[in-house]
Structure 1
Amino acid sequence: MNMNRTVLYKAALPIVMVLICAPYKVNAYNIEDAIKAVQLNNNGIKASKENVNIAKTERAQAYTTLLPSINLSNANTRTTYDVPQVLPNSSSGDRRSTSLEVYQALFEGGASLFRIDAAKHHLKAVQSDHQSQVQEIVFKAMEAYERLVVIKTVYDFHVKNEEAMQQHLNGVEARFKVGEATVTEVAQARASFEIAKANKNVSSGEITALEASYESITGEKAPQNMDPVDISGVYIPSSLDELMQICLKDNASIVALSSSIESARGNTRVAYSGLAPKVIGAINVNATNIKRNSPYKQDGTTYMIKVNMPLFNQGGIEYVKIKEAKHRERKQKAALESQKSAIISAAVGIWTKYSSSHSTIASMAEAVKASEIALKGTIEESKVGTKTITDVLEAETKHLDTKIKHTQAIQEQLLAVFQMHQIMGTNLSMFTNTRPIVQTAFNKS
């Protein structure tokens, strides 16, 4: 038995060592991680969330106006009487009074109900405004992420281009030493190498700046390895008209302003209720115990209904409040129409950018293939003397430019998709490489 165990251990040991020592692949950082980071760390989102909490407390305050006011009071009084002309000595009396008062507004022109309605719509407006701010901040994080991915790709292009230019320079200098190249060709090769080096340094500086911007938005340092974004499964409206319909229905800023109008309308009704009579019911239960030489106790309950009809209060302040409320309501309506126009304009611009990006990407992809073929052909022809070093350097530069423009065209399409979903009111937090946006609230019934 011990022999069998020893054999099993020896057989299993290599397998265990392979499992322990085998390299493992660490998941690269992707756009989902960026979205989670900005939602967790961004102070702008935290501040906006507090606005929602404040609006919730204001709604709770509105409900309290329906409840009665209850007050309990207790008073102890000691009084000393000095009447020497009647009594040989001073006398004293004690009074203890306890009172329970209940006040309930019975009618205020519907003010309490109007306040509650206004508070509800105000909360909805603040929640939609919070969503709009979150969408804007998340979009900035997604934009920073995508720009970092692209600039790192461009940086790699410049690194390879610098290496290629270095090789060309070395080759020209070697040929110059044996009299096969001119001083002009050496100068041209060196100029191309220095330009390639400078372009690489510019890209490096852009990476540093974008990393700082990314950290300020997400609260995390930008990682070295960042997965490219895949939008292959992302929902795209079939037409500009559909895009505008979705935006006008689900855009968070439009929803917020629509709710603000309803809230302002409720506040206007509250202002009008100030002209209505006020009916208040009250109950007062009191007990008084007086002790002055002999005990004396008095209990009582008072019922009261009070009607207050405002005729001219504080210089007609009710009328001023009504006028102010109307102006605020009209202001919100104008703001809504202005925002609708802005959203429609943005939708047209984004749709145009997205639509044109397809042909641009296709054209630049063909340009990359063609410039690569041209570069290889120019290099081969230079070996037999039909092309000069200048031709080779120009071909290298053109191939680099086409690769960069192709990469940037893809970036512009991605950013257009991000912007499209932002103005559509889509929850951008849904966007991941494994679970992309597939629908919007407009498509949910």
Structure 2
Amino acid sequence: MRLRKIASFALISTVSVTCNGASAETLASALAQAYVNNSGLNAERAGLKAIDEGVPQALAGYRPTIAGSASYGINPFTYEEAATRSNGRVVEGSTTRSTFYPGSIGIEVQQKLFDGGRTLNSVRAAESQVLGGRATLLNTEQSTLYNAATAYMDVLRDTAALNLQHSNVEVLEEQLRQTQDRFRAGEVTQTDVAQAEASLASGRGSESSAVATLKSSVATYQRVIGHLPQRLAPGAPAIPLLPKSREAAIATALASHPAIRANLHAVDTAELQVKVKTGKLAPSIAASASASVIWDDDYRKDKTIAAEAALAASIPIYEGGLFYSQVRQAKENVTSAHDNLEITRAQIRQQVEAAWADMESSREQIAARLTAVSANEIALAGVREEAKVGQRTTLDILNQQQALLNARVNLVSAQRDFIVATYAALSASGKLTAQHLSLKVPRYDPTRHYRQVRDAWGGLRTPDGQ
């Protein structure tokens, strides 16, 4: 039963799950740990850094390109002179062997002067992708914090449920003992004993299932938050952080939800890509300059030094239809991006509506289940008293005990559902962020890496030293 002590929650009352211990981990501190440790969130941050690199890559279109060249060769040469006859004498031929070492070095600089706006629009598209990546990161942050809040409340709920099941087993064990005593005294029959034994076996099975459920929740907690739960304080609903009404939540979400912002930037990027592809049909102008040194044998002796500067223009006439197809494709991507934006807006509205309805429903469920717990406690006490005078059977007591257990477990679930629903409503509104929650943790700055690499002209190492 060690799992029942993992979070030290120990007791379930008719009102709330409680936890003892001044050093207990709070829901806010668990969210802060997830903000720092969650692997999925950290992977999204690394992915945004990769997106940042698209801007300096696009800016490279404004910059010159420099290329050097060098060559060195070995050219063995053999000259054979045939024998000749001179004045009646034969002059033997000769063979001359020599080796030449030709080589060259050169450098060339090219600079684009005009490319139909491709570089300009590529930079703008890359910057739009960065903004979209930041919005996606914020949306991932929301999902992570919601999953962390859910995992936290699941552990609280499942530990409280396990405590209830354990207490129920203890009650059923005592009920069986009393029933056996009454059987020996002739007050009840063997059937009553069998009913008590069956209820105890069922209770132990339910306790075993509660242990398995808690183990699963603990594993999820560790995966999402980054460590095992130890001492968890009761969770609190996020009501103070929510918009004042359902309508206000919808308006807030449609205006600033990060998923919608990410899709808005996707539309901008798609429209800019149309301009990039159209720019391929425009003429381009580039300047170039080169210098080279060429020698046939020894660069210290005979060599040729050449320098050249040129201005070249290129006008695409026909590329097999490739550029035209790319423009049409880019335009279709714009249509798709607009459609995805409308889909996302509809989904966000639906999520707010659903989350708000769940929150209101779970709040009402708490009140109803509190009433059920109170009524079942009164009923159980009455059944026990009536059983003493023979008006109720052992089965009546066992059934009422099970009804009270179910009511208490349902109350715990309702309390958990209400708190989780408030975080779902906050997430659907686009406000479940470390900043809005005022988590006590250093904020991740998504612009820092961008500023470090945007104007970099070279370098293989990343800003963090990789």
Q: Distance in 2 between matches of 1:255 and 1:60?
A: 23
Instruction: Specify the SS of the correspondent of 2:309.
Output: strand
Who is 1:334 aligned against? Answer: 339
- Percent identical: 22
Alpha-carbon distance change, 345 to 351 in structure 1, aligned in 2, over 3 angstroms? same
Who is 2:262 aligned against? Answer: 256
Q: Deviations over 1:262-311 (max 9, x none)?
A: 11111111000001110111223445678899956665543321111111
Who is 1:6 aligned against? Answer: none
Who is 2:23 aligned against? Answer: 27
Q: Distance in 2 between matches of 1:83 and 1:398?
A: 114
Is 2:282 the counterpart of 1:276?
Answer: yes
What is the identity, as a one-letter code, of the residue corresponding to 1:68? Answer: P
Q: Distance in 2 between matches of 1:114 and 1:200?
A: 64
Q: Deviations over 1:139-191 (max 9, x none)?
A: 22321221111011011111111111222221121112111223333233223
**What pairs up with 1:291-440 in 2 under 5 angstroms?**
299=305, 301-313=307-319, 315-429=320-434
Is 2:153 the counterpart of 1:153?
Answer: no
Who is 1:236 aligned against? Answer: 242
Is 2:126 the counterpart of 1:130?
Answer: no
* Greater per-residue helix proportion: 1
Q: Deviations over 1:321-376 (max 9, x none)?
A: 11111122222211121122122222211111111222221122222223223323
Instruction: Specify the SS of the correspondent of 2:163.
Output: helix
Instruction: Specify the SS of the correspondent of 1:144.
Output: helix
Who is 2:458 aligned against? Answer: none
CA contact (8 A) 1:135 1:428 kept: yes
Q: Distance in 1 between matches of 2:424 and 2:382?
A: 42
CA contact (8 A) 1:92 1:292 kept: no
Instruction: Specify the SS of the correspondent of 1:284.
Output: strand
Who is 2:197 aligned against? Answer: 190
Alpha-carbon distance change, 215 to 105 in structure 1, aligned in 2, over 3 angstroms? same
Q: Distance in 2 between matches of 1:75 and 1:160?
A: 87
Runs of 4+ with deviation above 6 angstroms: 77-85, 88-96, 289-294, 431-436
CA contact (8 A) 1:378 1:391 kept: yes
Who is 2:65 aligned against? Answer: 69
Q: Deviations over 1:180-205 (max 9, x none)?
A: 22333323322322222222122112
Alpha-carbon distance change, 355 to 84 in structure 1, aligned in 2, over 3 angstroms? same
Unaligned runs of 5+ in 1: 1-23, 437-445
Alpha-carbon distance change, 358 to 166 in structure 1, aligned in 2, over 3 angstroms? same
Alpha-carbon distance change, 205 to 299 in structure 1, aligned in 2, over 3 angstroms? closer
Q: Distance in 2 between matches of 1:203 and 1:56?
A: 47
What is the identity, as a one-letter code, of the residue corresponding to 1:63? Answer: L
Who is 1:162 aligned against? Answer: 169
Instruction: Specify the SS of the correspondent of 1:303.
Output: strand
Who is 1:144 aligned against? Answer: 151
What is the identity, as a one-letter code, of the residue corresponding to 1:380? Answer: E
Unaligned runs of 5+ in 2: 1-19, 82-93, 442-466
Alpha-carbon distance change, 429 to 239 in structure 1, aligned in 2, over 3 angstroms? same
Greater Cα offset, 36-45 or 270-279: 36-45
Who is 1:50 aligned against? Answer: 46
Q: Deviations over 1:19-42 (max 9, x none)?
A: xxxxx9672233345434444544
CA displacement at 1:429 relative to structure 2: 3.8
Q: Distance in 1 between matches of 2:214 and 2:44?
A: 30
Q: Deviations over 1:225-244 (max 9, x none)?
A: 32221126641222222111
Q: Distance in 2 between matches of 1:272 and 1:53?
A: 29
Q: TM-score, normalised by structure 1?
A: 0.81
What is the identity, as a one-letter code, of the residue corresponding to 2:111? Answer: Q
Q: Distance in 2 between matches of 1:46 and 1:103?
A: 40
Instruction: Specify the SS of the correspondent of 1:102.
Output: strand
Instruction: Specify the SS of the correspondent of 1:65.
Output: helix
CA RMSD of the aligned region, Å?
A: 3.3
What is the identity, as a one-letter code, of the residue corresponding to 1:399? Answer: L
Greater Cα offset, 182-191 or 146-155: 182-191
What is the identity, as a one-letter code, of the residue corresponding to 2:268? Answer: E
CA displacement at 1:402 relative to structure 2: 1.6
Greater Cα offset, 399-408 or 33-42: 33-42
Alpha-carbon distance change, 188 to 408 in structure 1, aligned in 2, over 3 angstroms? same
What is the identity, as a one-letter code, of the residue corresponding to 1:197? Answer: R
Instruction: Specify the SS of the correspondent of 2:241.
Output: coil
Q: Distance in 1 between matches of 2:60 and 2:299?
A: 47
Q: TM-score, normalised by structure 2?
A: 0.78
Q: Deviations over 1:120-143 (max 9, x none)?
A: 111222232233234323322321
Instruction: Specify the SS of the correspondent of 1:35.
Output: helix
Who is 1:101 aligned against? Answer: 108
Q: Distance in 2 between matches of 1:296 and 1:72?
A: 22
